[in-house]
Structure 1
């Protein structure tokens, strides 16, 4: 007996940002596809991948918000992680095979030594990208070489660790909790391995949870189960506006006439201070028009929303 074909869900324009608490075991792209299906949205994307073994904050951009996703890709991130000390693996996390074990010196985990170690890894540091990563070399992802048993040379990369704390895990002398706020491109797995090496026993990552990205917080996020439990109308109401991807960015407001000219791509003049990035809004009704930069009193368009996107978003929020 053949199964009946699954009913095709009609897509609709949906605009905004969903802060998703991604579960362990699901890829970022699979999570985006699930959100897109639950909202019956035409267009969706994310602001930076999160490994299947990692959980936590994954901002999902819908419709017009996808135009500003790059800003979050470049933003600082924050993570809460757990390290297993005394064990190194091929991948730097729990998925890999064990390659070495060593005893853990309990004296190395005293608060003073951990604070000194955290200070050592704070600031601008160099990391060698792990072989099990999506970074490309000669058109192929490094993990493809790793799966084939090939190790290729990787140049060290500079990243910035803005804040780092290390603390023992209660009742587990071989575990260490790591909380970090870092620049884009930081590999927390590599940081875990380097900290293990500095302790003289090695380490690998056993849990990773993203708690913040570019000022967006996990505290605001919803799970897939929570989203699925809502009605279609309620799902729309948990979306943040597209400008949520622009926290802290100076704002410029334009009247109806100036807004129309700006949306057509024309530069506008006004009493605006210099700024590399501003969020531009229409005054009435208040709606994001796009982004621009201000140079010598001139507003220069960067990323613009289409008039249809603005109209659809206003209708979406009015319903």
Structure 2
């Protein structure tokens, strides 16, 4: 007889070290089962090829997932020059091979072209949609459509290693940057082509993969130990914002969706009161804290 899973309310953030070969949603569902979490979401997709930091939100923390989606991300990427694939990474089929004839100084010069604000054409093998259909579905049908270049920012692009036709890069970039496209563009700049052979996300905003845990390590623990040792509070995603603590009357008003006084400098803030995190607020020019995302009481 099949035993039905008993879901429960779980509020918090899990920093997961996603393995390669697994989709982000599969990793999320596996973690949800381990915590018996009724509600969960992730904060930015990692391709199956990629490993590394995948922050997961359960319960109340899902209200703040969108804020982490906009955070800068840091990757370590392995590239193979002279070989191009239809997907821009090692999961695709080889479509062209070229001779690799550049030297390290030429690679460094090419990297300089991709630092700072750049425009990047998203890959066909992506989840972006055209007329309601993901581009990757069209790509699998052999259909290629024109994509508009998008403005992104590469804050750091550092060469970690280079040998023959391979290199490793460290990239810190803004939301919406495709590392596969960056690899292809770099190969194009060097007139030999390239594709991504491995990708590991090492940071999302202020969160680092060194703080993360694997699914295998979680599975080896009891549910109680998992929650005590690895589940972080919902305000983990808001630590870069100033904190505002309200008195009981103002806290009750804020929790009911009303603006209150007591703000600091204008901008977003994390709001506390009634002995707990109340949610995300935004201080206006009059010093009022406007509710933006409010956590309901348990």
Matched, 1:49 2:45: yes
Instruction: Give the Cα–Cα distance (whole angstroms) in 2 for the partners of residues 175 and 205 of structure 1.
Output: 10
Instruction: Give the Cα–Cα distance (whole angstroms) in 1 for the partners of residues 254 and 294 of structure 2.
Output: 9
Residue pairs, 1:6-155, within 5 angstroms = 7-105=3-101, 108-110=102-104, 112-155=105-148
Corresponding residue number in structure 2 for 1:313: none
Instruction: Give the Cα–Cα distance (whole angstroms) in 2 for the partners of residues 39 and 273 of structure 1.
Output: 37
1:76-125 deviation digits (Å, cap 9, x = unpaired): 111101001110111101111111111112xx342x43333222110111
Alpha carbons 1:114, 1:167 under 8 Å: kept: no
Following TM superposition, by how much is the alpha carbon of 1:265 offset from its aligned partner in structure 2, in angstroms?
A: 1.4
Matched, 1:189 2:170: no
Following TM superposition, by how much is the alpha carbon of 1:269 offset from its aligned partner in structure 2, in angstroms?
A: 1.4
TM-score normalised by L of structure 1: 0.90
Q: Secondary structure at the match of 2:164?
A: strand
TM-score normalised by L of structure 2: 0.96
Alpha carbons 1:163, 1:181 under 8 Å: kept: yes
Alpha carbons 2:107, 2:190 under 8 Å: kept: no
Q: Which runs of 5+ in 1 are unaligned?
A: 309-319
Instruction: Give the Cα–Cα distance (whole angstroms) in 2 for the partners of residues 204 and 120 of structure 1.
Output: 18
Corresponding residue number in structure 2 for 1:220: 211
Instruction: Give the Cα–Cα distance (whole angstroms) in 1 for the partners of residues 42 and 92 of structure 2.
Output: 27
Aligned CA-pair RMSD: 1.3
Corresponding residue number in structure 1 for 2:277: 288
Matched, 1:306 2:265: no
Q: Secondary structure at the match of 1:268?
A: coil
Q: Secondary structure at the match of 1:11?
A: coil
1:62-86 deviation digits (Å, cap 9, x = unpaired): 0000000000111111110100111
Matched, 1:261 2:253: yes
Following TM superposition, by how much is the alpha carbon of 1:239 offset from its aligned partner in structure 2, in angstroms?
A: 0.9
Count of residues in correspondence between the two structures: 296
Alpha carbons 2:129, 2:135 under 8 Å: kept: yes
Corresponding residue number in structure 1 for 2:152: 159
Alpha carbons 1:109, 1:168 under 8 Å: kept: no
Instruction: Give the Cα–Cα distance (whole angstroms) in 1 for the partners of residues 264 and 250 of structure 2.
Output: 18
Instruction: Give the Cα–Cα distance (whole angstroms) in 1 for the partners of residues 272 and 160 of structure 2.
Output: 45
Instruction: Give the Cα–Cα distance (whole angstroms) in 2 for the partners of residues 246 and 32 of structure 1.
Output: 21
